[in-house]
Structure 1
Amino acid sequence: MPNLTGGCLCGHIRFETKGEPGFPHTCSCRMCQRHTGSLTASWVEFPSDSVTWTGPGGRPSAWRSSDRSSRAFCPQCGSSLGALDDAPVVALLTGAFDKPHLVALKPQSHSYKGGRPRWWHPEVEG
């Protein structure tokens, strides 16, 4: 797979990944909702050493959100970029990629379905 690129709204934080994205999924837990401002977040994971921060801002700012992870965001525009896990894993929000429509980023599962409102039923193609 070719390297994937992406970044924040203002371009201050940019990234490049190498290798296949892992665990493509969506999540409707309350933490993801608050982190993204959306009812459902869409994520893919990479080993930390497979993500290079290439923009002028370098590594994103982070806020410690749990005992095993920090939420990553741009300090200039505030865009949510993902999570920097202690695992060591970087979970990137699919919407931050330059080409978020790629099949490799398509979610394969959904976490915390009970966290979304009853009226929220995103269609999943088979």
Structure 2
Amino acid sequence: MTRTMTGGCQCGHIRYTARLESDDAYLCHCRMCQKATGGFAAAFVQVPTTAVAWNREPDWYESSPIARRPFCSRCGSPLGFDFKESSGEMDLTVGSFDEPEYFHPVAHAGCESLHESWLDTKDLPRHYTATTESVASRWKAAGLEVPE
């Protein structure tokens, strides 16, 4: 079953539509992805390159001799990963989708740099933005509601 989903960068300058065949996603733990996203891993959805339509072409960063990464030069949002020598598929960042909750992780990649302590966090205290006074009060002072 094909599902069409939308996504884009934080500021909205770059938007895309992607046709997806599944809800599979994966985490890449390699050092390149850690540095490119600033996280312990990058969460990706692999899609055929031809299944992605950009509202405007993103900027591309050549992150290594073999790969490049789309991003928004206005807000800095990382949007994906693509091999320079096209395999016919590329990755889009899970967090850049408008409905990231649709996806489910099915694999880990780049496990040589995996940080085990960041995988199982279910027992850590949970703090919600709307009830975290140091954040919520700043949104209120700006005359805005706390975003989801």
| Fold conserved between structures, TM > 0.5 | yes
The residue number in structure 2 matching 1:61 is 59
Calculate the aligned-residue CA RMSD, in Å. 2.0
Once residues 114 and 53 of structure 1 are traced to their aligned partners in structure 2, the CA distance between those partners, rounded to angstroms, is 33
Once residues 106 and 121 of structure 2 are traced to their aligned partners in structure 1, the CA distance between those partners, rounded to angstroms, is 12
- CA shift, 1:21, in A, is 4.6
The residue number in structure 2 matching 1:35 is 36
Identical positions, percent: 35
Once residues 99 and 82 of structure 1 are traced to their aligned partners in structure 2, the CA distance between those partners, rounded to angstroms, is 16
Once residues 110 and 121 of structure 2 are traced to their aligned partners in structure 1, the CA distance between those partners, rounded to angstroms, is 16
Aligned residues: 119
- CA shift, 1:93, in A, is 0.6
SS of the residue aligned with 2:39? coil
Letter matched to residue 47 of structure 2: F
The residue number in structure 1 matching 2:7 is 6
- CA shift, 1:111, in A, is 1.2
- CA shift, 1:87, in A, is 1.4
TM-score for the superposition, normalised by structure 1: 0.84
Q: Which runs of 5 or more structure 1 residues have no equivalent in the other structure?
A: none
Structure 1 residues 1-126: aligned runs within 5 Å: 1-21=2-22, 24-54=25-55, 58-85=56-83, 86-102=86-102, 105-122=103-120
Which has more radius of gyration? 2
SS of the residue aligned with 1:62? strand
The question of whether the paired residues in 1 share the 8 Å contact of 2:23 and 2:104 is answered with no
The question of whether the paired residues in 2 share the 8 Å contact of 1:22 and 1:46 is answered with no
TM-score for the superposition, normalised by structure 2: 0.72
Greater RCO, CA 8 A, separation 6+:
1
Once residues 96 and 20 of structure 2 are traced to their aligned partners in structure 1, the CA distance between those partners, rounded to angstroms, is 17
Structure 1 residues 59-68 or 28-37, which shifts more? Answer: 59-68
The question of whether the paired residues in 2 share the 8 Å contact of 1:21 and 1:45 is answered with no
Q: Which runs of 5 or more structure 2 residues have no equivalent in the other structure?
A: 123-148
- CA shift, 1:69, in A, is 1.9
- Please list the CA deviations of residues 45-86 of structure 1 after superposition, one character each: whole Å capped at 9, or x if unmatched: 1111100002xxx11111112333201110111100001332
Once residues 110 and 66 of structure 1 are traced to their aligned partners in structure 2, the CA distance between those partners, rounded to angstroms, is 21
